[in-house]
């Protein structure tokens, strides 16, 4: 249960504001997140670490000398948008390039990747390190395809220490990947977490059961088994990790026992007592073990064990000083002046537009208003469907995205924008407001649809069809999913096929759109049914492809609304 | 809910073992708790801080350079016993005297006080500092009679820094009291916490309500009010504290926003955003604020705000380095050698005894077996009654005490002990095993009853009556409660009065004991009824006097069992 909220939609932003207010000696709030409030040496690589909110201390809690240089902060359980990542990286970068570090999730890969493209286009040397420590999420031979969980801390701590010790970007990237390859985590959960403003947890673990390998956003685990005693839980986690212990090892390990939210410290220590015995029996020496809350999932009841198999280099960096809001060890040497320059993204330009295009833009804004209402009306249902196989944030993301996109479109319209500009502004804002995979895809869709219009011409049915087709094409191109992958593409492809065929046949846009929306809904219902049947029985990888996705349903809902709107004109 | 348990009765001990195993660079486990694992300078006062378990990081999490020298750790929500406090203090003491620091609760006052007496008798200079920051628990003119909650951290942090800076015991005691007098906390809760092994929370806050001023063991609050938005909660806490802001103040404050267990970090930051605004409006500058979990209550949903009104001296010590398992700031200067000497309490002596006294001792052990069974059978009911107005640990404490006392009595009997020695050993062990107020009182009662016997004489009814009277006298002397204070004395006094009168009249021990037990039960039922009716509607102080106490019921249950046992012989 989340108790302390002002407005659920502003929860993550409010938390970020409070976080920055509490730690002025460490961080400064910038657009999209925080960066260190003190200057870094010119030429030092910047380690920019981030992901969705709801995991504190991850990630903003680790910004400071010895670990991170900045943290873009997405909405709860949603990737920060590309422009958030870009803004934070721009602020953190100081001539030594940028390492973007994040847990390996589809949305983060998409948004951090987009930011990397933009930074590279501007001449910044960008490296990407995806943490993938969760052994429950893929097989050992695919370690780098696994999800990132509590291993985020040691990997970023070690990379940050290497940078503090003088590593350049090549060296820092090498050490970060080496740390990731040496890190294994295994976790389980006893009960779900509740998104701010929601009445019900995202998911439940059946009473008396525990879900092994459950992800930090409630992604399905390996299996549910009867609840064990603390010692049995310790053995299960330890044995799981030791199956992957490297054959050649120093015998020294960093150990993290991480509480996900409502498992309390005393319980973690009861488990650690057994872990310590098992380490000793296995001939392993724990080096500065840490027991507490490091990568949380709001109020999820669960824990994870992380082991980093150390060599001399990794141990040196693991033991090095760090001074951040939530992770402190000793004193990081050196004086630090307060930083002075802050990059802020400016307002997007509004090119001149004809009266006809402005009139069309007004009608497009009406459609966006309708999209926003449709998202709001269906928020709970989309969240529920997503929680079956994903992280339950789809309803929230669609609401935040449509709200942000619609608001930006209204602002552009007031500034005299035409049809193209209104949609492009809406697309950028949707992506930024929603975060997450679907936010990026809807943002790209709107932007691409805008590209089919211009700021001169007036209303034109053929152009509207072309815009819808262009939007769906962008989703297919960017997301890389195929029909049958159980993503929004499952509904989007039948939609455009029907739309084109019917419009060519009849020339009636409203009827063609309604028919296309019906085809989309039919496909979406199949996908939803499959999701419900597959349920939590499969291990799912970190990639969106193959993850049952309520995006098909939300796509068809918005297209149904559009069809109805066109028909009522 | 507590998920990770091996054996509920061993939960706190298991947690302590895991805690020590995880932090060998900071702490060494000794009898009763932990002390620093590194040597302290000879002549440096030792700050020994403690209380019940279930509040981590308080108190063991703060043992290390810059804060505490040792922490006795009681059972969950129960004071450590006098012998635990004594053992930890003996281990921490290094020629500079001992400051015993703890939150102001009846059980802690009793047990730390008992340890202080023993240490002083051995020539150690002992000072006692009780933290009393909870403004909900008493009026401003009685600040030092209030309960201690999250203010424990700044008070001990500041006292520890003064010691690290070279303060002697007079100076350290002065600074500690000054910090306590400058510290105000105010908290509220949304839901209760569940003791390890229990199925139900100790208490519930009604849904949609919040309980203002609720104590960290679920002690009743000031009032229940409808749940507020995060900003309203921040205002409520801030306004409550500011009512007591000193007229003369520097304008600089240490601020702690503390989560009690399941209120998560992001929620705390949402609240802190508002607190920061209010501080600014009030012209107050927060100095290194801390937002997180510092003094928890297992999985209780709640939070508290603590403000320390700083002067130059308090600010200097608040900002000083500290290096402990759960609270770290910078580097505490100086090399530290591992400590080598550890004091361990030896086995208690068993003086020679006659065959007759050993035979009597065997019968006394049968009675203790019966007490243990009676406690076990009534554990849930006693816990439930206690939870109405106390911290819900009475059933658990009686079980742990009777189990420990009976086991010690069996061991003494096997070693050839007579009647007196068996009871004295049982009393010491009961107090130590149970912790809490009732543990100390039952321990004292058994010890005093033992004093009415010797290790020579055999069974004698008059002596048994004298032993029962001596036991009750010890409870009255040590606890200081009067009939009508709603403690075990309510039942114990009618018991001894009836026992003496009936035994004098009839000379029948069994009948007199049964009649006395009936009188005790009648009185206990009145007390229980009062407790149920008073419920959570009153603000209760930190003292046991005036706190409705299921001790009357447990006393009458054990005496009923004794009466039945004597009658069945």
| ipTM confidence | 0.79
Q: What is the CATH number of the domain that holds B255?
A: 3.30.1180.20
A53 interfaces chain B, CB cutoff of 8 Å? yes
Distance from CA of A324 to the nearest CA of B (A): 10
- C-alpha span between B432 and B74 (Å, rounded): 9
Q: Which of residues 289-328 of B touch A (CB under 8 A)?
A: 289-293, 296, 298-299, 301, 303, 321, 323, 326, 328
| A191: three-class secondary structure by DSSP | strand
Choose the closest CB to A265 out of B56, B191, B263.
Answer: B56
Asked if A266 and B5 come within 8 Å (Cβ–Cβ), the reply is no
Q: Please tell me whether residues B289 and B363 are part of one structural domain.
A: no
Which alpha helices (DSSP H) does A4-105 contain, by range? 11-22, 82-92
Q: Please tell me whether residues B387 and B254 are part of one structural domain.
A: no
Contacts of B18 in chain A (CB under 8 A): 268-276, 291
- C-alpha span between B412 and B410 (Å, rounded): 5
A16 interfaces chain B, CB cutoff of 8 Å? yes
Q: Please tell me whether residues B301 and B360 are part of one structural domain.
A: no
Q: How many domains does chain B have?
A: 3
The pLDDT confidence band at residue A536, using thresholds 50, 70 and 90, is very low
Domain boundary among B71, B99, B131: B131
Residue A5 lies in a domain: yes
Choose the closest CB to B330 out of A53, A262, A331.
Answer: A331
Residue A117 lies in a domain: yes
Distance from CA of B191 to the nearest CA of A (A): 10
**Which residues in chain B show pLDDT less than 70?**
121, 389-390, 435, 531-549, 569
Residue A146 lies in a domain: no
Residue A291 lies in a domain: yes
A262 interfaces chain B, CB cutoff of 8 Å? yes
The pLDDT confidence band at residue A111, using thresholds 50, 70 and 90, is confident
Quote the tokens at residue B171: 């100076």
What is the pLDDT at residue A121? 67
Q: Please tell me whether residues A254 and A377 are part of one structural domain.
A: no
Domain that holds residue A65: 1-131
B271 interfaces chain A, CB cutoff of 8 Å? yes
What is the pLDDT at residue B270? 98
Range picked from A119-133, A488-502, B387-401 for highest mean pLDDT:
A488-502
Asked if B76 and A266 come within 8 Å (Cβ–Cβ), the reply is yes
Q: Please tell me whether residues B189 and B107 are part of one structural domain.
A: no
Closest Cα to residue A40, out of A1, A83, A84, A98?
A98
Under DSSP, the state recorded for B488 is: T
Asked if A19 and B272 come within 8 Å (Cβ–Cβ), the reply is yes
- C-alpha span between A287 and A320 (Å, rounded): 12
Q: Please tell me whether residues B317 and B365 are part of one structural domain.
A: no
Q: Which of residues 151-210 of B touch A (CB under 8 A)?
A: 190-191, 196, 210
Contacts of B272 in chain A (CB under 8 A): 18-19, 21-22
Q: Please tell me whether residues A419 and A528 are part of one structural domain.
A: yes
> Cβ(B78)–Cβ(B397) under 8 Å?
yes
Label residue A140 exposed, middle or buried (CB < 10 Å: 0-12, 13-18, 19+). exposed
- C-alpha span between B50 and A123 (Å, rounded): 57
What is the pLDDT at residue B142? 95
Residue among B6, B13, B15, B18 with most chain A CBs within 10 A, to mutate: B18
Residue B229 lies in a domain: yes
Under DSSP, the state recorded for B485 is: S
Asked if B22 and A291 come within 8 Å (Cβ–Cβ), the reply is yes
Q: Please tell me whether residues A394 and A314 are part of one structural domain.
A: no
Task: Tell me how many degrees the CA angle B372-B376-B377 measures, rounded to the nearest 5.
Answer: 115
Residue A161 lies in a domain: no
What is the pLDDT at residue B424? 87
A276 interfaces chain B, CB cutoff of 8 Å? yes
What is the pLDDT at residue B543? 34
CA dihedral angle for residue B219, residue B220, residue B222, residue B228, rounded to 10 degrees: 90
Judge whether residue A400 has pLDDT over 80: yes
Quote the tokens at residue B437: 């107020």
Q: Which of residues 55-114 of B touch A (CB under 8 A)?
A: 56-57, 61, 76
- C-alpha span between A179 and B202 (Å, rounded): 44
Average pLDDT over residues A443-462: 91
Judge whether residue A535 has pLDDT over 60: no
Q: Please tell me whether residues B409 and B290 are part of one structural domain.
A: no
Q: pLDDT tens-digit profile of B99-129?
A: 999 999 988 988 898 788 778 867 899 999 9
The pLDDT confidence band at residue A6, using thresholds 50, 70 and 90, is very high
Asked if B4 and A57 come within 8 Å (Cβ–Cβ), the reply is no
Q: What is the CATH number of the domain that holds A73?
A: 3.40.50.10440
Contacts of A59 in chain B (CB under 8 A): none
| Cβ contacts from A onto B, under 8 A | 196
Catalytic residue among B217, B317, B394, B425: B217
> Which range among A16-20, A365-369, B541-545 shows the weakest confidence by mean pLDDT?
B541-545
Distance from CA of A286 to the nearest CA of B (A): 8
> Cβ(A542)–Cβ(A107) under 8 Å?
no
Residue B336 lies in a domain: no
β-strand pairing of A126-131 with A98-103: parallel
Q: Please tell me whether residues B309 and B365 are part of one structural domain.
A: no
Identify the helix (H) or strand (E) that includes residue A310. none
Active-site residue list of A: 217
Asked if A4 and B230 come within 8 Å (Cβ–Cβ), the reply is yes
Residue A140 lies in a domain: no
Quote the tokens at residue A2: 């989340």
* Closest chain A residue to B7, measured at CA: A229
- C-alpha span between A427 and A442 (Å, rounded): 7
The pLDDT confidence band at residue A389, using thresholds 50, 70 and 90, is low
Choose the closest CB to A230 out of B4, B266, B274.
Answer: B4
What is the pLDDT at residue B547? 46
Q: Please tell me whether residues A528 and A428 are part of one structural domain.
A: yes
Domain boundary among A108, A131, A154: A131
Q: pLDDT tens-digit profile of A216-272?
A: 888 878 889 999 999 999 999 999 999 999 988 889 999 999 999 999 999 999 999
Judge whether residue A497 has pLDDT over 60: yes
Q: What is the CATH number of the domain that holds B367?
A: 1.25.40.340
Domain boundary among B97, B115, B131: B131
A19 interfaces chain B, CB cutoff of 8 Å? yes
Q: Please tell me whether residues B270 and B403 are part of one structural domain.
A: no
What is the pLDDT at residue A543? 34
């Amino acid at each position: 249960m989340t108790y302390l909220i002002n407005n659920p939609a502003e929860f993550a932003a409010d938390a970020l504001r409070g976080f920055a207010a509490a730690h002025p000696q460490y961080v400064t709030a910038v657009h999209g997140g925080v960066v260190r409030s003190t200057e870094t040496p010119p030429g030092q690589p910047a380690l920019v670490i981030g992901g969705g909110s709801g995991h504190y201390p991850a990630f903003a809690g680790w910004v400071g000398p010895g670990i991170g240089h900045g943290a873009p902060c997405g909405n709860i359980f949603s990737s920060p948008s590309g422009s958030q990542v870009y803004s934070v990286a721009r602020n953190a970068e100081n001539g030594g390039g940028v390492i973007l570090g994040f847990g390996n999730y589809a949305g983060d890969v998409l948004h951090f990747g987009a930011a990397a493209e933009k930074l590279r286009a501007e001449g910044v040397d960008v490296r990407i390190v995806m943490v993938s420590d969760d052994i429950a999420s893929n097989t050992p031979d695919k370690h780098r395809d696994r999800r990132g969980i509590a291993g985020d801390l040691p990997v970023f701590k070690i990379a940050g220490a290497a940078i503090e010790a003088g590593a350049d970007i090549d060296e820092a990237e090498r050490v970060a990947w080496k740390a990731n390859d040496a890190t294994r985590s295994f976790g389980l959960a006893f009960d779900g977490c509740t998104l701010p403003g929601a009445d019900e947890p995202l998911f439940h673990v059946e009473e008396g059961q525990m879900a092994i390998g459950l992800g930090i956003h409630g992604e399905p685990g390996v299996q549910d088994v009867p609840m064990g005693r603390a010692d049995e839980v310790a053995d299960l986690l330890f044995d799981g990790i030791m199956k992957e212990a490297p054959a050649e090892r120093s015998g020294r390990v960093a150990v993290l026992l991480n509480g996900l939210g409502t498992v309390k410290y005393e319980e973690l220590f009861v488990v650690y007592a057994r872990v310590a015995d098992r380490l000793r029996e296995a001939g392993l020496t724990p080096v500065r073990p840490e027991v507490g809350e490091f990568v949380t999932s709001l109020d999820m009841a669960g824990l994870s064990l992380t082991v980093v198999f150390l060599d001399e280099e990794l141990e040196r960096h693991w033991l090095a000083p760090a001074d951040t809001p939530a992770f402190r060890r000793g004193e990081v040497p050196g004086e630090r002046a307060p930083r002075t320059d802050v990059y802020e993204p400016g307002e997007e330009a509004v090119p001149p537009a004809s009266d006809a295009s402005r009139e069309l833009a007004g009608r497009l804004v009406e459609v966006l208003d309708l999209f926003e209402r449709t998202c709001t009306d269906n928020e709970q249902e989309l969240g529920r469907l997503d929680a079956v196989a994903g992280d339950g944030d789809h309803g929230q993301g669609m609401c935040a995205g449509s709200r942000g996109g619609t608001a930006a479109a209204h602002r552009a319209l007031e500034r005299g924008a035409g049809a193209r500009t209104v949609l492009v502004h809406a697309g950028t804002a949707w992506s930024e407001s929603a975060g997450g995979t679907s936010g990026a895809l809807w943002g790209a869709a709107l932007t691409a649809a805008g590209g089919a219009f211009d700021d001169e011409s007036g209303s034109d049915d053929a152009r509207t069809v072309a815009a819808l087709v262009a939007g769906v094409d962008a989703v297919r191109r960017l997301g890389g999913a195929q029909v049958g992958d159980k993503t929004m593409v499952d509904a989007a492809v039948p939609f455009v096929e029907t739309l084109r065929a019917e419009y060519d046949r009849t020339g009636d846009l409203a009827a063609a759109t309604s028919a296309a929306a019906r085809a989309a809904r039919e496909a979406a219902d199949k996908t939803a049914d499959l999701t419900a049947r597959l349920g939590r029985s499969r291990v799912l990888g970190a990639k969106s492809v193959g993850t049952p996705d309520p995006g098909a349903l939300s796509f068809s809902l918005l297209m149904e609304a559009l069809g109805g709107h066109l028909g009522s004109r």
